[in-house]
Chains A and B, each alone.
Chain A
Amino acid sequence: MKGIAHYISGVMAASFCPWAVQAATEGNPLYFILGGAFGILPDTIDFKFYRFFYRHDFYVDPDAQNPDPQTIADELAAAVDKARSAGRPIRIKLNTVRMGADYWRQYVVRFDSENQEVQVRIGPVVNTGQVPVPNSEPKDRAVGRAKLSAPIIQTYDATTRVDIFDGPTFAFEADAQGRVMLHFLPWHRNWSHSFLVAAFWGLLGWLLWNWQAAVVIVAGYSAHLLEDQLGFMGSNLFFPITKKRFMGLHIMRSGDAIPNFSAVWLSCLLIFWNLYRLTPGLRYHFNFLHLIVYGAIFPIGLFGVVHWLLTRGDKGREAPIELEDEFGDTMTT
């Protein structure tokens, strides 16, 4: 999920603690700040600290002027081969291709388990908002393919887009059956995304403040881990006891607008409800059903109806069904 969804979930978790609301009413914002900060902390650790110290065995650095998809595919295939012979995980980093202050050359990597090959396609130039620049696609169909020396087992998406800021990392790890496991972003959602690490932070909070702070910290941190588990990548939930990420539930993707907005909105409503029920002496009275009707069903329903009215005519003008994927292969429909 997006940072704001994790953050507000942490604040929401804090709002369930009566002492947090009580302290806030008396002018002490500590528990809510802790809830939010620890709600976003697992990703902060990964993206602002750990990834800069994560070492790689190979770096793929495409030429900005003349990116060669075959070279990229060959380097990836070589990394897979090395993973088989080295007897340890091999980490490879795909660097992004910066074309200017706001422009990046996109390229797409796909591991095709069926044909045991890796495919790379050079895409358009995109801006930092990942919007393609018109007519910036390479003139030739720039696709590179390389055969892999072992069958590949994927735990995440088969296709990875490389475009803005920091490129992705893959870790290849050979197993006893001679296959190679592909781990996407091995530095992410690993040790930092563990309930035991949450407990460690809680212990630290207890030492620094009190047990109430510890509860808020563990609740905020754990809310993050549970939300992430709804996605595809999963997390290493019990590090250091476990060494690998548990598979996600595949219910949503981290960048999807609707689940993210729903999490934020629901958190806001629950915070509001908790403040209402834990604040004495209020003039107005309502129940949870009122809140849900006025706060969720009515506005979201109104948005849905207007959205439907505005887009219902588009059904007949939908884009033609794509019969080829990004690599020109025929897609089954």
Chain B
Amino acid sequence: MRITVTVDGTAYTDEVEPRTLLVHYLRERLGKVGTVVGCDTSNCGACTVHLDGHSVKSCSVLAVQADGCEITTIEGLSRDGQLHPVQQAFHDNHALQCGFCTPGMIMQAIDLLADDADPDEETVRNGLEGNLCRCTGYQNIVRAVRDAASRMEPGSGPEAEQVAEQTSVAGGSRAEVRQS
């Protein structure tokens, strides 16, 4: 089947098998290997990307279902060398060790912050329940997400890191915000 998708700002038109999962399409056809596969039961969340601004586990979406959609992966978050505030917060708070869960964890954290701009600890923990990490014990991930929330408050940081009120903070939308 023929699909057209926009991934990290680039348009692609491809023939794909109907059974092809979005994550395999991203990795194997587009070379977007920053998004990884950690399980086969949709439990680990390592493959989380944004589909039209909302987080999805890309192992649970068929490539054909993404036809006409805009997809943002971990590789599309930073622009011109400037990290997304959640990426920066993960670095600053030592929220990763081996880093395998990190792409999915960051994409999910961004989605979480779009729903709740100032989550408390319990909200963050519940919001990340679908993403497993075996290294960090989660404490620094929780700290990083809350730290990112404080940085992303309007007026709290450099203009480039601010979140426009009318848009989602999802990666795809952020690019627009930064360019405006």
Q: Bound pair: A and B?
A: no
Q: Tell me the A residues contacting B by CB distance below 8 Å.
A: none
Q: Tell me the B residues contacting A by CB distance below 8 Å.
A: none
